[in-house]
């Protein structure tokens, strides 16, 4: 049986004001005090400091949805690792498909950000995944391998302990469509095999690999029952305490009072 952590992460994207975020954490925190999983929330930049303060002493771990690879500079609209840390962030999502496909971020750029996060002590969640066109062309493994090869370049086994990976098929994000749990497991196993090639067997065996893409309370357990799926990266279903708690309940078989 795997001894890897189970990590359920909510990615709020461009939703929630500070009061809305604080209210969410106030409501969720006491309900999850005893559940056997790690609960992460990637909140908007504006909410990191107040929500991390609100989450202090609770099981909720607060992080960011993106960052730049530079520590400072003339990069209008960007944010640096030390700014996130100063605000209270503990982790950061990097290479999310929306960053890659809407904002044009290359794997080379993502790689620099992953290296920077590891250097600064922020836990990176590296996202990889194929588009629907790539899937239909039978290129899923090719695309995922390429993204992993390029995004993990220059990373050694000595500084990668905190790294997590999220496999998120682009065609499933926000679409309501998902791969079968068996297909997701097959790709997670492939990701682990590529990590083994790149970083060694010991890292591959302990690295947390999440599934992301239209995760809901009614499909969460099916994904989590797969041997190589160690967690979930949840988008829309993380925006209300009821739906997010429903995911946590189905994963842990623990009834939460929300």
Residue 212: φ, ψ to 5°: -135, 145
Task: Count the Cβ atoms, other than its own, within 10 Å of residue 111.
Answer: 22
**111, pLDDT greater than 70:** yes
Alpha-carbon span 173 to 95, nearest angstrom:
14
Task: Tell me what the mean pLDDT of segment 180-204 comes to.
Answer: 96
Helix H, strand E, coil C: the string for the chain is CCCCCCEEEEECCCCCCHHHHHHHHHHHHHHHCCCCCEEEEECCHHHHHHHHHHHCCCCEEEEECCCCCCCCCCCCCCCCHHHHHHHCCCEEEECCHHHHHCCCCCHHHHHHHHHHHHHHCCEEEEEECCCHHHHHCCCHHHHHHHHHHHHCCCCCHHHCCCCEEEECCHHHCCCCCCCCHHHHHHHHHHHHHHHHHHHCHHHHHHCEEEEECCCCHHHHHHHHCCCCCCEEEECHHHCCHHHHHHHHHHHHCCCCCC
Alpha-carbon span 91 to 177, nearest angstrom:
28
For residue range 51-93, list pLDDT tens digits in order.
Answer: 999 999 999 999 999 999 999 999 999 999 999 999 999 999 9
pTM of the shown model? 0.96
Four-residue CA torsion sign, 219, 221, 226, 228: positive
Domain chopping of the chain, boundaries = 7-252
Per-residue pLDDT band at 1 (split at 50, 70, 90): very low
pLDDT value for 177: 86
For residue range 170-187, list pLDDT tens digits in order.
Answer: 998 888 888 999 999 999
Among 3.20.20.70, 3.40.50.1970, 3.40.50.720, 3.40.50.1100, what is the CATH number of 7-252? Answer: 3.20.20.70
Among 43, 190, 69, 176, residue whose Cα is nearest residue 129: 190
Catalytic residues: 96, 168
pLDDT value for 31: 92
For residue range 120-165, list pLDDT tens digits in order.
Answer: 999 999 999 999 999 999 999 999 999 999 999 999 877 788 999 9
Alpha-carbon span 28 to 256, nearest angstrom:
9
Residue 8: φ, ψ to 5°: -105, 115
User: What's the Rg (C-alpha) of the chain?
Assistant: 17
């Amino acid at each position: 049986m795997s001894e890897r952590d189970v990590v359920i992460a909510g990615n709020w994207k461009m939703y929630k004001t500070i009061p809305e975020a604080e209210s969410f954490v106030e409501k969720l925190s006491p309900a999850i005090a005893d559940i056997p999983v790690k609960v992460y929330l990637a909140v908007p930049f504006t909410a990191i400091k107040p929500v991390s303060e609100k989450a202090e002493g609770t099981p909720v771990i607060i992080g960011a949805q993106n960052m730049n690879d530079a520590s400072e500079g003339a990069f209008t609209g960007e944010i640096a690792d030390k700014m996130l840390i100063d605000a209270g962030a503990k982790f950061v999502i990097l290479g999310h498909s929306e960053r890659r496909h809407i904002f044009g971020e290359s794997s080379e750029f993502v790689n620099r950000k992953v290296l920077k996060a590891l250097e600064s002590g922020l836990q990176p969640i590296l996202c990889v995944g194929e588009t629907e066109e790539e899937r239909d062309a039978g290129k899923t493994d090719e695309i995922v391998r390429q993204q992993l090869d390029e995004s993990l370049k220059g990373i050694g086994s000595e500084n990668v302990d905190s790294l997590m990976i999220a496999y998120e098929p682009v065609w499933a994000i926000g679409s309501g469509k998902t791969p079968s749990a068996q297909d997701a497991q097959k790709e997670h196993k492939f990701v682990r095999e590529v990590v083994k090639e790149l970083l060694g067997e010991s890292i591959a065996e302990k690295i947390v690999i999440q599934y992301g893409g239209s995760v809901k309370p009614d499909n969460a357990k099916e994904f989590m029952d797969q041997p190589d799926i160690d967690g979930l990266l949840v988008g829309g279903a993380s925006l209300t305490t009821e739906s997010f708690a429903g995911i946590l309940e189905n994963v842990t078989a623990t009834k939460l009072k929300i």
